Amino acid sequence: MSYGSFPPEPGRRRGTLAIVLVALIPTCFVGWLLWSSLGRSQDDGAGGTGGTGGPTTSSTSSPPPPSSGASAPPAPSASSGEPGKPGAPGKPLEGKVVVIDPGHNPHNRDHPSRIARLVDIGTEKKECDTTGTATNSGYPEASFTLDVARRARTLLEARGATVRFTQDGDRPYGPCVDERAEIGNKAHADAVVSVHADGAAAGERGFHVILPKSVRGGGADTSAITAPSRRLGERLRGDFAKATGSEPAQYIGDGSGLDVRGDLGGLNLSTVPKVFIECGNMRDSQDAAELTDTAWRERAAGGIAQGITDFLNE
């Protein structure tokens, strides 16, 4: 812009500049206010954009949650459920074979001639089997032994054992005593327990464990099993007493609860550790009250299972 053809005087030039500056300052201030107000209105809008056109963020905002597709480390599990790993259930009898021999058979009474025939037990000949005894009210020993044996099987299998029966009420009679022994032998059992209840005189109470005597003759040779069978019997005696609260019978042997016999085919013909347990006297009213009680039979099964477990974990 030209002011004329002549330059202005110095004094007039300074006055003119001052006037221009005074006029510009309010204009600039008003412009700044308008720009600032417009910027704030954009920043305060939901989903608005800033001066760069990008999404607005706040320094106080929480970080966004991870996307649902993101992989995160799994939370620790209380139990893996896998054998051999922390939290896995205990299997103290894994790989062990146990044979349980429920004494007699509920159907034996229907086959008297068959169970009466004689079989060779090595040292002599004896009946194939018998009907067993019963309480005065008619509860059969054969029913008792099956019930306790099945309960013990459940406990032992839960600990990892392979459990086999000589009979499970699924045979017309027997098996005979020589076959009962052979079942344990063929299974290569680590332990065999034959479950029974006694039929002594009324007033005689308690349980006892029958151990094999060292015998040789015919097909019988117990020399290799007498020592481990005694250990099995001792474990069984202690754990059965603890589980049931029963006392060892005083009417048999020396009152220790252990009785050694050489006239039982199931023991004479065994080549693996084996014992009998007479859980009580069915002909005594006090013992009979326990033997016929479901809760007591569960405890009896627990004592038998624990005795076997302790023996196999020696």
- 195 falls within a domain: yes
Asked, for residue 199, whether it belongs to a domain, the answer is yes
- pTM of the shown model: 0.72
Q: Is 82 a catalytic residue?
A: no
pLDDT confidence bin for 59, thresholds 50/70/90: very low
In the chain, the number of structural domains is: 1
Greater pLDDT, 78 or 198 = 198
State the residue range of the domain holding 160.
Answer: 97-312
Collapse the DSSP code of 245 into the 3-class scheme (helix H, G, I; strand E, B; otherwise coil) and give the result. Answer: coil
Q: Is residue 180 part of a domain?
A: yes
Q: Is residue 257 part of a domain?
A: yes
Q: Say how far apart CA 113 and CA 106 lie, in whole Å.
A: 15
The string of pLDDT tens digits covering residues 272-298 is 999 999 999 999 999 999 999 999 999
Q: Percentage of the chain surpassing pLDDT 90?
A: 70
Give me 306's structure tokens: 């624990």
Catalytic residue among 141, 182, 278, 298: 278
From the list 212, 219, 226, 229, the residue with the least C-alpha distance to 125 is 219
Residue 5 lies in a domain: no
pLDDT at 90: 82
**Helix (H), strand (E) at residue 181:** helix 177-186
| pLDDT of 312 higher than 60 | yes
Whole-number Cα distances in Å, 11 to 15, 18, 45, 94: 7, 11, 53, 115
List the 97-102 sheet strands across, edge first.
162-165, 97-102, 191-198, 274-281, 208-212, 258-261
Q: Which amino acid is at 300?
A: A
* CA distances to 68, 72, 119, 129 from 65, in Å: 9, 12, 81, 76
264 domain residue, yes or no: yes
Residue 143 is part of a domain; what is its CATH number?
3.40.630.40
Amino acid identity of residue 271, one-letter, is T
Compute how many other C-beta atoms are within 10 angstroms of the C-beta atom of residue 266.
Answer: 27
pLDDT tens digits for range 215-261: 998 889 999 999 999 999 999 999 999 999 999 999 998 999 999 99
213 and 260 in contact (C-beta within 8 Å)?
A: yes
The residue-averaged pLDDT of 110-139 equals 97
58 within domain boundaries: no
pLDDT tens-digit map of 122-134: 999 999 999 999 9
Position 89 scores a pLDDT of 63
Res 253: pLDDT: 85
Q: 263 in a domain, yes or no?
A: yes
Cα 259 to Cα 150: distance, rounded to the nearest angstrom: 25
Q: What is the pLDDT of residue 28?
A: 45
